[in-house]
């Protein structure tokens, strides 16, 4: 849509219109910019009230609604903002300029909510960029006249175009920033896994070999404590890697759990068997899935370090709650040391408590260890 400067006869109005449009190049936040454009629209066309509705991503209803002309008390009395019904909905489904002498007489008029001031003359124009509809600009109650003019429509259309460019730029910048952040998080996670963890692991192995040599007990004790500290550091880094990768990209809980079992199989010495029950993908929130994967990573890491197991079974079930159970046939767990520092279990209990759930560790009669982590589905 070209800005119709030739239809505007007042040089002062034309200058103000151009200045308002150029505001989209200023370093101004989107909400402030949209309010400024609505204020200028009201001033230039002589409207008592103005509003700009921004459509949601699916372009089916209004996600935001910027108003001008109503006091804070009046807005509070009106209540919830419109979502796109009535004449406002008509401009969403049929994005063409609309001028009315009396808004209430239109066949699609939905009426006013309680405490809404009466409005009569109406001018609505779509907010579009390259054929994409981003919202609508609404102006009501022409001051000094019964209806809005063709010139008013052209000026409103020009300001609506500026609003569309501003909204598009904001969304494009947000998308680029999100992609950049994901790329940076992925790169950091890879560097931590491929470089930092491997170097710490190598240092730990070297220290373990030293601890097996003859030497003063106090020195060997310090070496053993250093090895434990390095193990704890690796656990923390692995948790950080999970938070960087899995909380930023939803790959699906089922696929992520299988990938995790495959990743840790070389450390454990066997590939864990993973089974699923219930609506694993659709039955829980992404936040709960992120916690479950973090718990699974830490639990399997503990198995690799302490269990000496030849079989590991992971069962992930979703019913009234989310239940994650890890069972191995290893050497068992000293239950008196479950809460001890360095066992990697404190984080698992903390994650369960955070979601209102429970965490249990047991040693079955047949040997091995069973870890059960469960949280209610509704956080």
CATH number at residue 154: 3.30.450.40
Alpha-carbon distance of 351 to 356, in angstroms, equals 9
Residue 198 has pLDDT above 70, yes or no: no
Residues with Cβ within 8 Å of 219's Cβ and at least 6 positions away in sequence, in order, are none
Do 164 and 294 belong together in one domain?
A: no
Residue 228 has pLDDT above 50, yes or no: yes
Do 274 and 157 belong together in one domain?
A: no
Residue 4 has pLDDT above 50, yes or no: no
Tell me how many degrees the CA angle 116-117-123 measures, rounded to the nearest 5. Answer: 105
Q: Is 312 left (phi over 0), alpha (psi -120 to 50) or beta?
A: beta
Do 358 and 274 belong together in one domain?
A: yes
Residue position matching structure tokens 């800005």: 3
In a domain, 202, yes or no: no
Do 40 and 134 belong together in one domain?
A: yes
Among positive and negative, which fits the CA dihedral 360, 366, 369, 370?
A: negative
Return the pLDDT at 224: 72
In a domain, 68, yes or no: yes
Do 166 and 258 belong together in one domain?
A: no
Per the CB < 8 A criterion, the answer to whether 88 and 62 are in contact is: yes
Which stretch of 96-100, 123-127, 279-283 has the lowest confidence by average pLDDT? Answer: 279-283
Do 139 and 262 belong together in one domain?
A: no
Return the pLDDT at 350: 82
pLDDT band at residue 278 under the 50/70/90 scheme: confident
Among positive and negative, which fits the CA dihedral 99, 101, 107, 113?
A: positive
Do 162 and 42 belong together in one domain?
A: yes
Q: Residue 269 is part of which domain span?
A: 251-379
Residue pLDDT, tens place only, 107-121: 555 656 566 777 888
**Dihedral (Cα; 343, 346, 348, 349), 10-degree rounding:** 140
In a domain, 206, yes or no: no
Query: Which of 25-29, 44-48, 265-269, 362-366 holds the top average pLDDT?
Result: 44-48
Do 261 and 168 belong together in one domain?
A: no
Residue 24 has pLDDT above 90, yes or no: no
Do 35 and 119 belong together in one domain?
A: yes
In a domain, 228, yes or no: no
200, two tokens: 């710490």
Residues with Cβ within 8 Å of 104's Cβ and at least 6 positions away in sequence, in order, are 111, 120
Alpha-carbon distance of 330 to 338, in angstroms, equals 16
Do 167 and 263 belong together in one domain?
A: no
Return the pLDDT at 282: 72
Return the pLDDT at 2: 46
pLDDT band at residue 262 under the 50/70/90 scheme: confident
Alpha-carbon distance of 174 to 325, in angstroms, equals 39
Q: Angle, nearest 10°, between helix axes 253-268 and 286-302? A: 10
Among positive and negative, which fits the CA dihedral 236, 184, 187, 262?
A: positive
pLDDT band at residue 197 under the 50/70/90 scheme: low
Residue 325 has pLDDT above 90, yes or no: yes
From 130, 147, 175, the end of a domain falls on: 175
In a domain, 99, yes or no: yes
Return the pLDDT at 276: 85
Supply the CATH number for residue 308's domain: 3.30.565.10
Query: Which of 92-106, 218-232, 306-320 holds the top average pLDDT?
Result: 306-320
Residue 154 has pLDDT above 70, yes or no: yes
Tell me the three state secondary structure of residue 215. coil
% of the chain exceeding 90 in pLDDT: 9
Return the pLDDT at 323: 93
What's the N-to-C CA distance of the chain in angstroms? 48
In a domain, 244, yes or no: no
Nearest residue to 159 via CA among 138, 131, 173, 132: 138
Alpha-carbon distance of 41 to 16, in angstroms, equals 10
Tell me how many degrees the CA angle 111-116-117 measures, rounded to the nearest 5. Answer: 105
Residue 312 has pLDDT above 70, yes or no: yes
Residue 269 has pLDDT above 70, yes or no: yes
Do 160 and 22 belong together in one domain?
A: yes
From 175, 193, 210, the end of a domain falls on: 175
Nearest residue to 229 via CA among 204, 264, 206, 195: 204
Which stretch of 175-179, 236-240, 363-367 has the lowest confidence by average pLDDT? Answer: 175-179
pLDDT band at residue 68 under the 50/70/90 scheme: confident
Query: Which of 128-142, 174-188, 331-345 holds the top average pLDDT?
Result: 128-142
Alpha-carbon distance of 179 to 186, in angstroms, equals 10
Residue 258 has pLDDT above 80, yes or no: yes
Return the pLDDT at 191: 67
In a domain, 329, yes or no: yes
Return the pLDDT at 347: 76
Do 12 and 154 belong together in one domain?
A: yes
Which stretch of 39-48, 199-208, 266-275 has the lowest confidence by average pLDDT? Answer: 199-208
From 141, 175, 209, the end of a domain falls on: 175
Tell me the C-alpha to C-alpha distance, in Å, between residue 78 and each of 71, 74, 136: 11, 6, 20
Return the pLDDT at 36: 86
Please state the domain count of the chain: 2
In a domain, 301, yes or no: yes
Residue 324 has pLDDT above 90, yes or no: yes
Return the pLDDT at 232: 67
**Dihedral (Cα; 141, 144, 145, 150), 10-degree rounding:** -80
Average pLDDT over all residues of the chain: 76
């Amino acid at each position: 849509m070209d800005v119709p400067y030739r239809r505007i006869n007042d040089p002062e109005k034309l200058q103000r219109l151009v200045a308002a449009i150029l505001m989209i190049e200023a370093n101004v936040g989107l909400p402030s910019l949209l309010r400024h454009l609505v204020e200028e629209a009201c001033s230039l066309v002589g409207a008592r009230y103005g509003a700009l509705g921004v459509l949601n991503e699916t372009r089916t209803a209004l996600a935001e609604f910027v108003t001008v002309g109503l006091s804070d008390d009046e807005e509070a009395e009106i209540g919830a903002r419109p979502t796109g019904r009535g004449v406002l909905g008509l401009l969403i489904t049929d994005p063409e300029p609309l001028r009315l002498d009396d808004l209430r007489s239109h066949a699609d008029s939905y009426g006013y909510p309680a405490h809404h001031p009466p409005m009569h003359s109406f001018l609505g124009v779509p907010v579009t960029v390259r054929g994409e509809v981003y919202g609508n600009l609404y102006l009501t109650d022409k001051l000094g006249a019964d209806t809005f003019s063709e010139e008013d429509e052209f000026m409103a259309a020009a300001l609506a175009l500026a609003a569309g460019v501003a909204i598009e730029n904001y969304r494009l910048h947000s998308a680029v920033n999100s992609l950049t952040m994901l790329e940076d998080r992925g790169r950091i996670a890879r560097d931590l896994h491929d470089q930092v963890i491997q170097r710490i692991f190598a240092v730990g192995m070297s220290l373990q070999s030293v601890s097996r040599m003859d030497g003063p007990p106090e020195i060997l004790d310090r070496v053993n404590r250093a090895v434990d500290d390095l193990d704890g550091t690796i656990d923390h880094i692995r948790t950080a890697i999970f938070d960087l990768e899995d909380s930023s990209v939803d790959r699906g809980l089922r696929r992520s759990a299988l990938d995790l079992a495959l990743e840790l199989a070389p450390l454990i010495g066997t590939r864990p068997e993973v089974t699923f029950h219930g609506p694993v993908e659709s039955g829980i929130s992404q936040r709960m899935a992120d916690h479950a994967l973090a718990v699974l990573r830490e639990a399997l890491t503990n198995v690799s370090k302490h269990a000496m197991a030849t079989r590991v079974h992971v069962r992930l079930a979703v019913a009234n709650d989310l239940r994650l159970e890890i069972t191995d046939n290893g050497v068992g767990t000293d239950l008196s040391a479950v809460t001890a520092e360095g066992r990697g279990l404190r984080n698992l209990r903390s994650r369960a408590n955070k979601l209102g759930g429970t965490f249990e560790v047991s040693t079955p009669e047949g040997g091995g260890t069973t870890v059960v982590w469960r949280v209610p589905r509704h956080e």
